Structure 1
Amino acid sequence: MTTTERAARTAQADALCQQAYGDNAGLTQGATLVAVGGYGRGELAPFSDLDVVLVHEEGVELGELPTKLWYPIWDSGAKLDHSVRSLPEMLEAAGADVRVALGLLDVRHLAGDASLSLRLRSEVLAHWRRQARERLPELRQLVEQRHAMIGELAHVSVPDLKEAAGGLRDATILKAIVATWLVDVPHTDLEPRRQDLLDIRDHVHDLAGRATDRITPELWAPLAERLGLPDERAAQRHIRQVGRRIRHLSNLTWRRVDAVLSRPRAAAPRRPELTPLGTGVAMSAGEVVLAKGADPRRDPLLFLRAAALAAENDVILAPPTVARLSAQTPPPTGVWSQEARQLLVRLLAAGRGLLPVWETLDETGALMRILPEWEAIRLLPHASVIHRFTVDRHVIETCVEASSLIRHVARPDVLMVAALLHDIGKGGLVEHSVAGAPIARDVAIRWGFDDEAVDLIETLVRWHLLLSTTATTRDPDDPATVAAITAHVTNAEALALLTALTEADARATSTKAWSSWRASLILDLSRRARAALAGGASLPAVLSDDVEIPRSVKKGGTSFEVLRHPDGERVTVIGADRVGLLADTAATFAFQRLKVRAARAWAQPPYAVSVWDLAEEGVDAAVLRSGFEAISEGRVDAAARLRPTGPDPLAPSVVVRPEASTQSTVIEVRTADRPGIVYLVCHALAALGMTVRSAHVDTLGPQAVDVFYVQEAHAGALGDQRAAEAAHAVRAALSGDST
Structure 2
Amino acid sequence: MACGETERSGSTTRRPSMNSREERTEAADGRLRSLLADGLKQADLPPTGVAVVAVGGYGRGELSAASDLDVMLVHDNRLPDVGAIAEALWYPLWDDGVALDHSVRTVEETRDAADQDLRTAMSVLDARHVAGDPSLTIRLRTTLLADWRRAAPRRLPELEASCRERAARVGELSSLLEPDLKEAHGGLRDGVVLRALVATWLVELPHATLARLRGELLDVRDALHVVSARRPTDKLLAELQPDVASALGLPDRETLLRRVYQAGRTLAHTSDIAWRRITRARAVKTNRRNRSPVRPGPLLTPVATGVAISDGEVVLTPDARIGQDAQLPLRAADAAAQRGLLLNPFTADRLSREFLPLPNPWPDEARRLFSALLGTGADLLPVWETLDQSGLIEPLLPEWAHVRCRPQYSPAHRHTVDRHLLETCVQASALVRRVARPDLLLVAALLHDLGKGHDGDHSDVGAAQIRQIATRWGFPPRDVATLSLLVRHHLLLSETATRRDLDDPATIKRVAIAVGDADTLDLLAALTEADCRAIGSVAWTPWRASLLARLVERVRSRLERGAVPAPQPLDAAQRLLAARVAQSRELDVVVEAGGDGSRVTVAAPDRVGLLATVAGVLALGRLGVRSASVDTIDDAGISVWAVTGDRPDPAVLRERITTALAGGLDLAKRLGSVDDAYAKPGDAIPPRVRLVPGASAHATVVEIHAKDRPGLFYRLCAVLAAHDCSVRSAHVSTWATEAVDVFYLQPLTEPDQVAVIRALEAALAAG
Residue 44 of structure 1 pairs with residue 63 of structure 2: yes
The residue that corresponds to 1:673 in the other structure is 708
The residue that corresponds to 1:519 in the other structure is 545
Alignment CA distance shift 1:432-1:672 (3 Å) = same
Local SS of the residue matching 2:399: helix
Matches within 5 A, 1:41-440: 41-57=60-76, 62-67=82-87, 69-209=89-229, 210-264=231-285, 273-440=299-466
Q: Which runs of 5+ in 1 are unaligned?
A: 712-716
Alignment CA distance shift 1:243-1:272 (3 Å) = farther
Matches within 5 A, 1:585-596: 585-596=614-625
The equivalent position to 1:15 in structure 2, one of 30, 39, 50, is 30
Matches within 5 A, 1:436-585: 436-533=462-559, 535-545=560-570, 547-548=575-576, 549-585=578-614
Offset at residue 375 of structure 1 (A)? 1.1
| Deviation by residue 1:172-226 (Cα, 9 ceiling, x = unmatched) | 1111111111111112211111111111111111011122111111222222222
| Deviation by residue 1:29-51 (Cα, 9 ceiling, x = unmatched) | 44433221001112110111111
Alignment CA distance shift 1:550-1:603 (3 Å) = closer
| Deviation by residue 1:608-648 (Cα, 9 ceiling, x = unmatched) | 22211222453222211111111111112223333585533
Tell me if structure 1 keeps the 8 A contact 2:450–2:458: yes
Residue 33 of structure 1 pairs with residue 62 of structure 2: no
Matched AA of 2:653: L
Residue 632 of structure 1 pairs with residue 661 of structure 2: yes
CA distance in 1 between partners of 2:78 and 2:692 (Å) = 85
The residue that corresponds to 2:741 in the other structure is 706
Tell me if structure 2 keeps the 8 A contact 1:647–1:735: no
CA distance in 2 between partners of 1:558 and 1:90 (Å) = 80
Alignment CA distance shift 1:11-1:551 (3 Å) = closer
Matched AA of 1:221: P
Tell me if structure 2 keeps the 8 A contact 1:643–1:733: no
Deviates more, 1:54-63 or 1:692-701: 54-63
The residue that corresponds to 1:5 in the other structure is 20
Offset at residue 12 of structure 1 (A)? 1.8
CA distance in 2 between partners of 1:429 and 1:382 (Å) = 15
Tell me if structure 2 keeps the 8 A contact 1:543–1:602: no
Number of corresponding residues: 731
Local SS of the residue matching 2:730: strand
Deviates more, 1:243-252 or 1:499-508: 243-252
**TM-score in terms of structure 1 length:** 0.94
Residue 734 of structure 1 pairs with residue 764 of structure 2: yes
CA distance in 2 between partners of 1:587 and 1:307 (Å) = 26
The residue that corresponds to 1:714 in the other structure is none
Residue 697 of structure 1 pairs with residue 702 of structure 2: no
Local SS of the residue matching 2:347: helix
Tell me if structure 1 keeps the 8 A contact 2:581–2:603: no
Local SS of the residue matching 2:175: coil
Tell me if structure 2 keeps the 8 A contact 1:306–1:317: yes
Tell me if structure 2 keeps the 8 A contact 1:296–1:328: yes
Q: Which runs of 5+ in 2 are unaligned?
A: 4-16
Alignment CA distance shift 1:7-1:551 (3 Å) = closer
CA distance in 2 between partners of 1:324 and 1:99 (Å) = 38
| Deviation by residue 1:330-367 (Cα, 9 ceiling, x = unmatched) | 22232010011111111111111111111122122221
CA distance in 2 between partners of 1:160 and 1:647 (Å) = 36
Offset at residue 65 of structure 1 (A)? 4.3
What RMSD in Å do the two structures reach over aligned CA positions?
2.4
Deviates more, 1:108-117 or 1:602-611: 108-117
The residue that corresponds to 1:687 in the other structure is 722
Alignment CA distance shift 1:272-1:195 (3 Å) = farther
Tell me if structure 2 keeps the 8 A contact 1:643–1:680: no
**TM-score in terms of structure 2 length:** 0.91
CA distance in 1 between partners of 2:627 and 2:297 (Å) = 41
Offset at residue 270 of structure 1 (A)? 14
Local SS of the residue matching 2:557: helix
Local SS of the residue matching 1:159: coil
Tell me if structure 2 keeps the 8 A contact 1:411–1:700: yes
CA distance in 2 between partners of 1:3 and 1:94 (Å) = 34
CA distance in 2 between partners of 1:119 and 1:572 (Å) = 75
Tell me if structure 2 keeps the 8 A contact 1:183–1:257: yes
Offset at residue 456 of structure 1 (A)? 1.2
The residue that corresponds to 1:618 in the other structure is 647
Residue 723 of structure 1 pairs with residue 753 of structure 2: yes
Matched AA of 1:55: V
Matched AA of 2:247: R
Tell me if structure 1 keeps the 8 A contact 2:52–2:129: yes
Deviates more, 1:234-243 or 1:224-233: 224-233
Q: Percent identity?
A: 46
Matched AA of 1:725: A
Matched AA of 2:670: R
Offset at residue 579 of structure 1 (A)? 1.8
Offset at residue 64 of structure 1 (A)? 4.3
Offset at residue 387 of structure 1 (A)? 0.9
Local SS of the residue matching 1:263: helix
